[in-house]
Chain A
């Protein structure tokens, strides 16, 4: 690597595995977000407990148009049904994200990444990243799986602990919203810390020291 002769100091920033899993997760995150919103549009109403439908009281309703004529809205039109490919895409990318996440976490523990790799961050940043990796991601997987009728059959405790399948759906929505908020803050901070240099760090693994 001596061929590279930098004009200024270059520091090794992110390991290859961290960069690869980061960008796989980024793509999955966006696919899950788009498909998740599409699925939400077919029934933008939330409940608490085991069951709920348009005839029962809602916890809250999101005032947006729906993709089903059976769902009452104050809009005079029905959006096209996109649930088929959205569900296919949602589950496929969830698998990829979970596998990438597991590789990242195992690598992180073996390599001391969660200590050494986080060296450049302050306490709030470290706690935020750890909260996202070890609380929000597991929670979004758990609440998602708790909506599955087959998983509910095999692991009923995973559903009742959340308060029921509709509670799981409501929590899945809020955890996803928190993850989206994290994405916004994360991208904002990358921009403020020097977008080009930070992107270079996550793409090539190297960035200039400041």
Chain B
């Protein structure tokens, strides 16, 4: 072995060691600051963690763009949903007067709200973009109660780190971190374009998370649960999306 190749070998070894310890330290830091997503393991865990961590560091407090009313899509597209069950149809017959949303888990005062009760709280209206991971999108005006307002009413406990939210369709559930749960634009939405939120767009109640793709905006919301971990929900990957092969974090 010549001097040059020995020196190269030492440099390469040092570089690999430095790189590996750098990754290990970055991993520890990411864990400590909550920058590892629930689906941050496996083959694509590295990429997911980098995307989630980078976006959380850079965009934690950013607001989704809001548009002028002239930019509202004349023809929004409602993505298809699984057939709605008997329970939904019965509630629909009474104009959703019996619809309730439960808020439980790590909260000081678990509660349940009817639509009328939600509507008695200060409403917020926003004109935001809804983009599907497939590539299509539309802009609509959404009206509802900021989720942060509801979480304030029930008193979120300090150890809560995730909000798990569920649809009346039992296999449809999602979760978001506190950055999105407490974000002022995250909206428990009951109105769209100046009217009631149509059923095909998620009526009577949809959780709009405008800084993430459409599949995080779950339709027909019935339950919100605050938790310090999502490990005990489903397969522990954070939501139904990763169980179906899709990323938990959909900010990209």
Q: Assess the B64–A149 pair: CB atoms within 8 A.
A: yes
A-contacting residues, B4-54, CB 8 Å: 4-5, 43-44, 46-48, 50-51
Chain A facing B: main interface SS: helix
Q: Assess the A156–B65 pair: CB atoms within 8 A.
A: yes
Q: Please, how many residues of chain B have a CB less than 8 angstroms from a CB on the other chain?
A: 47
Known A89-B44, A92-B44, A95-B51; judge A83-B246 contact (CB<8 A): yes
Known A85-B245, A165-B131; judge A53-B138 contact (CB<8 A): yes
Closest to B50 in A: A95
Interface segment, one of B99-107, B142-150, B205-213: B205-213
Asked whether any CB of chain A lies closer than 8 Å to the CB of B159, the reply is no
Chain B facing A: main interface SS: loop
| Closest-CB distance, B219 to chain A (whole angstroms) | 15
Partner of A91, one of B79, B213, B252: B252
In the assembly, what is the distance between CA of A40 and CA of B74, in Å? 24
Q: Assess the B73–A51 pair: CB atoms within 8 A.
A: yes
In the assembly, what is the distance between CA of A87 and CA of B132, in Å? 12
In the assembly, what is the distance between CA of A165 and CA of B131, in Å? 9
List 24 A–B pairs whose Cβ atoms lie within 8 Å, in order of A's numbering.
Answer: A1-B5, A39-B134, A39-B135, A43-B134, A52-B136, A54-B136, A68-B134, A69-B80, A83-B133, A83-B134, A84-B246, A88-B44, A89-B47, A95-B46, A149-B64, A149-B131, A149-B252, A150-B211, A150-B252, A151-B55, A151-B252, A153-B63, A153-B64, A154-B62
Given contacts A154-B58, A165-B137, 7 further A-B contacts (CB under 8 A): A85-B245, A89-B44, A91-B51, A92-B44, A149-B250, A153-B62, A153-B65
